[in-house]
Amino acid sequence: MSRQGTRLDQKKVNSELFTLTYGALVSQLMKDYENVDEVNKQLERMGYNIGIRLIEDFLARTGTGRCYDFRDTAEKIQSAFRLYLGISPQIMNWSSSGDEFSLQFDSNPLTEFVELPDHCLNLKYCNVLTGVLKGALEMVQMDIASCFVQDHLKGDPCTELRVKFIKRLEDAIPAGED
Amino acid sequence: MTIHNLYIFDRSGILLYYAEWNRLKQSGITREEEAKLMFGMLWSIKSFVCKISPLDTKKGFLCYKTNKYALHYFETPTGLKFILNTDVNAQNVRELLYQIYRQVFVEYVIKNPECNLKEPIKSELFKSQLDAFVKQSPIFGLKSY
């Protein structure tokens, strides 16, 4: 196994490079689509495609099993943020039925040097994250919805991502089986 | 000890990859037919095993053994299924399956944007890495046919 990649895993990618790359991506999308809603949608779609693959890496690295409840899921999402972005968002504001919670970010490497210009106040700059969560959890048979309810970039005191459990997805039954 | 063959299925039962090493006798049916029967059997075993288990199953069905071979089953939480047939003496096959998932499948399929996850794997790199990985395992045995 002489592949460089496996050894590179141990090292960290320079976080500024990462931040700037993401910024370049978002601003290029703004130029290409010229429409904030469309950019939000594209970011989520990209995130979704990242999520469905990222979950396999997460499972392989952590060797984690199935979640027993949604709180368990929340903790695993938190640990994934630590693993991939080096941040630990706080889990808070559980709904009374336990199917909805918030992730609160004090720092966010995606937004480090970012200021939103006036004409894109509707831009959900980090919308890629909602897509990642959706894609990753869909692969483990969970349908969720998430959205940003507070955004540091729009003058809120912190960034808050609300995650809501919708339903469990059932395994497909092979044709001809009951 | 020896390894006969490996199947990788996705969540919906598509045979993503098949490889064989020391398989001396063929089943006499087409590969597609064989894969379909394999997936159907595993699906039935899995659901039945869970039904008759006296306690809640956590990992569910792991393997079965006949007097000639043993089938080892590893399913990820995402529903990927890895099946490895070995002779009856093979030890720690589950560990090997997990390593195949972790060190070969995730590295060379999941992280390869060329690989569509809903289609059979065509990557030559994956093929050669998997082959090398299986052959270096002690379970594979030193005997080469």
pLDDT tens by residue, A117-168: 888 888 999 999 999 999 999 999 999 999 999 998 888 888 999 999 999 8
Optimal mutation site among B44, B58, B76, B112, interface A, most CBs of chain A within 10 A:
B76
Nearest CA in chain A to B38: A174
Q: Where does the pLDDT of residue B142 fall: very low under 50, low under 70, confident under 90, or very high at 90 and above?
A: low
Centre a 10 Å sphere on the Cβ of residue A73 and count the other Cβ atoms it contains: 19
Task: Report the alpha-carbon distance of residue B39 to residue A37 in Å, rounded.
Answer: 43
What is the DSSP secondary-structure string of A63-111?
-----SSHHHHHHHHHHHHHHHHS--PEEE---TTSSEEEEEES--GGG
Q: How far is CA B1 from the centre of its chain?
A: 17
pLDDT at B141 over 90: no
Q: Where does the pLDDT of residue B15 fall: very low under 50, low under 70, confident under 90, or very high at 90 and above?
A: very high
Contacts within 8 Å (CB) and 24+ apart, A95-101? A98/A69, A98/A70, A98/A71, A99/A70, A99/A164, A99/A165, A100/A162, A100/A163, A100/A164, A100/A165, A101/A70, A101/A74, A101/A162, A101/A163
pLDDT confidence of residue B108: 93
Hey, which residues does A167 pair with through a beta bridge?
A143
CB atoms A174 and B80 under 8 Å: no
Optimal mutation site among A52, A53, A56, interface B, most CBs of chain B within 10 A:
A56
First to last CA, chain A: 44
Please compute the mean of the pLDDT values over residues B119-128 and round it to a whole number. Answer: 93
Out of A3, A5, A140, whose CB is closest to B78? A140
Q: What percent of chain B has pLDDT over 90?
A: 52
Nearest residue to B82 via CA among B104, B67, B108: B104
pLDDT confidence of residue A172: 62
With an 8 Å Cβ cutoff, is A56 touching chain B? yes
Please compute the mean of the pLDDT values over residues B17-40 and round it to a whole number. Answer: 89
Task: Report the alpha-carbon distance of residue B45 to residue B48 in Å, rounded.
Answer: 5
**B13 Cα to chain A: minimum distance (Å):** 7
pLDDT confidence of residue A2: 44
pLDDT at B145 over 50: no
Task: Report the alpha-carbon distance of residue A102 to residue A162 in Å, rounded.
Answer: 4
Please compute the mean of the pLDDT values over residues B108-136 and round it to a whole number. Answer: 91
- Give the phi and the psi of residue A77 in degrees, each rounded to 5: -65, -45
Out of A57, A171, A174, whose CB is closest to B39? A174
Nearest residue to A103 via CA among A67, A64, A129, A68: A129
CB atoms B106 and A65 under 8 Å: no
Q: Where does the pLDDT of residue B35 fall: very low under 50, low under 70, confident under 90, or very high at 90 and above?
A: very high
- Give the phi and the psi of residue A101 in degrees, each rounded to 5: -145, 170
Nearest residue to B100 via CA among B122, B62, B129, B63: B129
Whole-model pTM above 0.95? no
CB atoms A52 and B117 under 8 Å: yes
Strand B70-75 vs strand B63-65: parallel, antiparallel, or unpaired?
Answer: antiparallel
pLDDT confidence of residue A144: 94
pLDDT confidence of residue A165: 94
Task: Report the alpha-carbon distance of residue A56 to residue A62 in Å, rounded.
Answer: 10
Residue B111: its chain A contacts at CB < 8 A?
A: 5, 53, 57
Please compute the mean of the pLDDT values over residues B18-36 and round it to a whole number. Answer: 88
pLDDT confidence of residue B50: 85
CB atoms B77 and A65 under 8 Å: yes
Residue B110: its chain A contacts at CB < 8 A?
A: 53, 56-57
Average pLDDT, chain A: 87
pLDDT confidence of residue A173: 63
pLDDT at B42 over 70: yes
CB atoms A59 and B78 under 8 Å: yes
Please compute the mean of the pLDDT values over residues B102-131 and round it to a whole number. Answer: 92
* Mean pLDDT split into 10-residue runs, chain A, 178 residues: 50 82 93 92 95 94 88 94 91 92 90 86 91 94 93 89 91 57
pLDDT at B83 over 70: yes
Nearest CA in chain B to A67: B77
Task: Report the alpha-carbon distance of residue B144 to residue B2 in Å, rounded.
Answer: 9
Centre a 10 Å sphere on the Cβ of residue A86 and count the other Cβ atoms it contains: 12
Task: Report the alpha-carbon distance of residue B18 to residue B8 in Å, rounded.
Answer: 6
Task: Report the alpha-carbon distance of residue A96 to residue B79 in Å, rounded.
Answer: 31
Out of B39, B77, B133, whose CB is closest to A59? B77
Please compute the mean of the pLDDT values over residues B19-40 and round it to a whole number. Answer: 88
**A48 Cα to chain B: minimum distance (Å):** 14
Question: What SS3 class is residue B82?
Answer: strand
Nearest CA in chain A to B58: A66
Nearest CA in chain A to B39: A174
